[in-house]
Structure 1
Amino acid sequence: MSTTDLIPRQDDRPGAASGARDPRPVDLPSLTGLRWTAALMVFFYHVHIVEYFGGRANDLVTFAFGVGNTGVSFFFVLSGFVLAWSSATAPTGRGVPRFWRRRFARVYPLHLATVAMALAMGFLLAPDTLPDRGPLTANLLLVQSWVPQVPYFQGLNPVSWSLACEAFFYLAFPLLFWPLRRFGPRCALPVAVLALAAVVTVPTVMELTGVSDGAVWAQYFDPLTRLPEFVLGIAVAELVRAGRWRGPGLTASLGLAVVGYFLSYQADYAFRTTACTIVGFTCLIAAAARADLAGEPSSWRGRLSVKLGEVSFAFYMVHILVIRTGEHLFGGHPKLPLWDGGLLVLAAAFSASLALAWALHTWVEVPGRRLLLRKGRGTSAAS
């Protein structure tokens, strides 16, 4: 998720080295590489949902990726971390509209392109799935996740619900970030603890009050429910920046993230989306950042990992459209045997998603962002 794109890139003035009060440019390439890993988790989760495989192969995919949607939680925490890290100061005054314009330029060209693709797919393959005016308008305005109705938060390109959450996070970021930067690390630690407690409290309340598993909107899609993950990322970035993060190293953090991930598969429904993975994901993000700062080895800093991370937002946005196209062509869930068509269909879906992601990143995402920012500068100059 996020994103951003779904996750903000690090070409947006990356933040300070650990412990520095005056930020100086420091890239964190491992975080870009990690974005690809999270996007891949979500891809295989949707392979599981659409049931490309049948029999034991489906059981294996379910075990490995049945909670792959926790990758969106990773995106939200990472989004807060990178936005805070890349901000030399909290946006104030005229800087707030400029910040919002940059964020809009990050996400909207690609969002608009995938909306067009989803509409085209609907006209060609499934006219009965085309949205009414209300859901379409909400989707275009990135407010669809505020409406607890499936045609809204899962209409058109289903993964775009997370962009509605990110849009809300972006609007709130100047207000959220100002006190953390104003009062420094002494404020960041209690904020991180409170945000972590909020992430765990929501599913606990749902379990104790007997809220049905069907209340998926409040648990998963509601932007207010997901806000603590974003806030946690901001607070942890400030702790890392000040050299006050005391979490485990990269290997231990990866182990903690993996344990939390597979624990999610065993947990009750309410705890699957964030509660079991939030500690491991947060530690992994912070540890990867510290590894980059210290020049320590990192599996996500390689050229290929970083390049895949750069196209991960486009991959995230387009992959479900490719997978659903396959579902329509098969007339339902394929449920193919692993060695008798299943792997071939999976390879085709992955290859098509990656190829489309590269094309969208190259010809829509990057030039669209540049065009919007160039127009913004021209408008500002004229006024």
Structure 2
Amino acid sequence: MATTELISGPDGTRTAAEGGRPSGIVSLPSLTGLRWTAALMVFLYHVHIVEYFGGRSQDLVTFAFGAGNSGVSFFFVLSGFVLAWSSATAPTGRRILTFYRRRFARVYPLHLVTAGFALLMAVAFAPDTEQGLRPLAANLGLVQSWVLEIPYFQGLNPVSWSLACEAFFYLCFPLLLWPLRRLGPRSAWPVAGIALAAVLAVPAVWELTGTPDGTVWSQYFFPLVRLPEFVLGIAVAELVRSGRWRGPGLTASLALAMSGYFLSYQADYAYRSVACTVLGFTCLIAAAARADVAGEPSPWRGRLSVKLGEVSFAFYMVHILVIRTGEHLFGGHPKLSLWDGGLLVLAAAFSVSLALAWALHTWVEVPGRRLLLRRWRGTRAAKP
């Protein structure tokens, strides 16, 4: 999941040079607000999967949120964008280690705690099920998405598969940004085009080769398959930074993103989660960033939107555990009607998820990051 703590702040502070180009690191609060929208999409997608609703209510939920897993694609593009945007120079030498330490401190405390919650839930809800040590080690090592076995890439906290992809993206980031910066901003256009073509080509290859739709690992979870989305975000950030981006404005980008979203569930399976939405999402991210730089109106820059965006990572990491707990309490898929308890259960799942996210953000995510970074700084200062 993307994180933007290096460049976004609730006060919306921003600077700009002549021609609308950013001077230094510009605050992009709208991207923080958009993170919450994407996290909410994934939450509602999982409500659809677990079937809190039944009958016509479920049909409505499927139409509205059956493509909500495309929110993960939004996170991957956003991750590349904000990391490139917040890097004044490409990490080299010791700066690479500093970059890795910051990324680890940003995501791992929350991952470790939610993995612990998931393990306790597994023991409590299914005590007779053997918990494999290898899947557990892979999950804690953030390499679970590299293994084509469900106990690995969907083990413990299922949404953590995306962190394995992000860990791979972080590992590659210095190697991706350095040549792009060396070649200059003009090189960002062909890189963006190649990345977009790769995103669109992957499902086309699956269709032409007859790869079964059930092979969800290679179509969705495999980090190498998701890397082009991250690269696309990096390239577009370089284009926006240099003033060379010529994409649509915020309103048109939002319309494009929504059109791709609602059309995606009508497409063949291979195209649903990424190919139909990636262009609209990319344009929306770039347009929101440009709106913040130029001081133009944005619906995601408000204080509440930014605050929700700040807790969105914790919300993303904990929500499926809450939803699965509800499923266990019902003894299976609830399949409630809309007015006969369905909305009440949905509201309860959302409220509990948000409350836990707020607590985890306040007492685990932020202090955990500070503690790790403080220890590393102290260790470095103690060296002769």
Indicate whether the TM-score tops 0.5: yes
| 8 Å contact from structure 1 (residues 196, 229) kept in 2 | yes
Say if 1:16 and 1:73 are closer, same or farther in 2 by CA, change over 3 A: farther
What's 2:347 paired with? 347
Runs of at least 4 residues of structure 1 off by over 6 A? Answer: 18-22
Distance 1:117 1:17 in 2: 44
Is 1:146 the counterpart of 2:146? The answer is yes
Say if 1:371 and 1:201 are closer, same or farther in 2 by CA, change over 3 A: same
- How far is 1:23 from its partner? 4.6
Distance 2:229 2:79 in 1: 9
**Cα-Cα RMSD:** 1.6
| 8 Å contact from structure 1 (residues 239, 245) kept in 2 | yes
- How far is 1:127 from its partner? 2.4
| Percent identity for Structure 1 against Structure 2 | 79
What's 1:246 paired with? 246
Q: Output one character per residue of 1:164-188: Cα deviation in whole Å (capped at 9) or x when no partner.
A: 0000000000000001111221111
2:7 corresponds to which letter in structure 1? Answer: Q
Distance 1:130 1:21 in 2: 56
1:281 corresponds to which letter in structure 2? Answer: F
What's 1:300 paired with? 300
What's 1:3 paired with? 2
Is 1:157 the counterpart of 2:157? The answer is yes
Distance 2:130 2:38 in 1: 29
Distance 1:22 1:337 in 2: 51
Q: Output one character per residue of 1:78-121: Cα deviation in whole Å (capped at 9) or x when no partner.
A: 00000000001000000000000000000000000100110111
| 8 Å contact from structure 1 (residues 15, 23) kept in 2 | no
Distance 2:254 2:238 in 1: 21
Q: Output one character per residue of 1:333-365: Cα deviation in whole Å (capped at 9) or x when no partner.
A: 000111111111100000000000000000000
Distance 1:180 1:139 in 2: 32
May I ask how many residue pairs the two structures share in their alignment?
379
TM alignment of 1:354-369, pairs within 5 A: 354-369=354-369
What's 1:316 paired with? 316
| 8 Å contact from structure 2 (residues 77, 230) kept in 1 | yes
| 8 Å contact from structure 1 (residues 119, 130) kept in 2 | no
Q: Secondary structure at the match of 1:266?
A: coil
Distance 2:143 2:70 in 1: 22
Q: Output one character per residue of 1:221-259: Cα deviation in whole Å (capped at 9) or x when no partner.
A: 000000000000000000000000000000000000000
- How far is 1:16 from its partner? 7.9
TM alignment of 1:113-124, pairs within 5 A: 113-124=113-124
Q: Secondary structure at the match of 2:213?
A: coil
Q: Output one character per residue of 1:107-141: Cα deviation in whole Å (capped at 9) or x when no partner.
A: 00000010011011112222245630010000000
TM alignment of 1:262-281, pairs within 5 A: 262-281=262-281
Q: Output one character per residue of 1:298-320: Cα deviation in whole Å (capped at 9) or x when no partner.
A: 00000100000000000000000
Distance 1:330 1:340 in 2: 14
Distance 1:164 1:126 in 2: 25
What's 1:37 paired with? 37
Distance 2:229 2:131 in 1: 30
TM-score w.r.t. length of structure 2: 0.96
1:145 corresponds to which letter in structure 2? Answer: S
Say if 1:146 and 1:84 are closer, same or farther in 2 by CA, change over 3 A: same
What's 1:212 paired with? 212
| 8 Å contact from structure 2 (residues 22, 241) kept in 1 | no
Distance 1:119 1:142 in 2: 16
TM alignment of 1:368-383, pairs within 5 A: 368-383=368-383
What's 1:71 paired with? 71
Q: Secondary structure at the match of 2:25?
A: coil
| 8 Å contact from structure 2 (residues 30, 306) kept in 1 | yes
What's 1:91 paired with? 91
What's 2:338 paired with? 338
Is 1:194 the counterpart of 2:185? The answer is no
Distance 2:129 2:319 in 1: 18
2:122 corresponds to which letter in structure 1? Answer: G
What's 2:286 paired with? 286
| 8 Å contact from structure 2 (residues 14, 293) kept in 1 | no
TM alignment of 1:93-112, pairs within 5 A: 93-112=93-112
| 8 Å contact from structure 1 (residues 42, 69) kept in 2 | yes
What's 2:55 paired with? 55
Say if 1:136 and 1:17 are closer, same or farther in 2 by CA, change over 3 A: farther
Distance 1:160 1:296 in 2: 35
Distance 2:198 2:5 in 1: 24
Distance 2:98 2:354 in 1: 32
| 8 Å contact from structure 1 (residues 8, 79) kept in 2 | no
| 8 Å contact from structure 1 (residues 148, 217) kept in 2 | yes
Distance 1:135 1:255 in 2: 41
- How far is 1:10 from its partner? 2.4
1:208 corresponds to which letter in structure 2? Answer: L
1:40 corresponds to which letter in structure 2? Answer: L
TM-score w.r.t. length of structure 1: 0.96
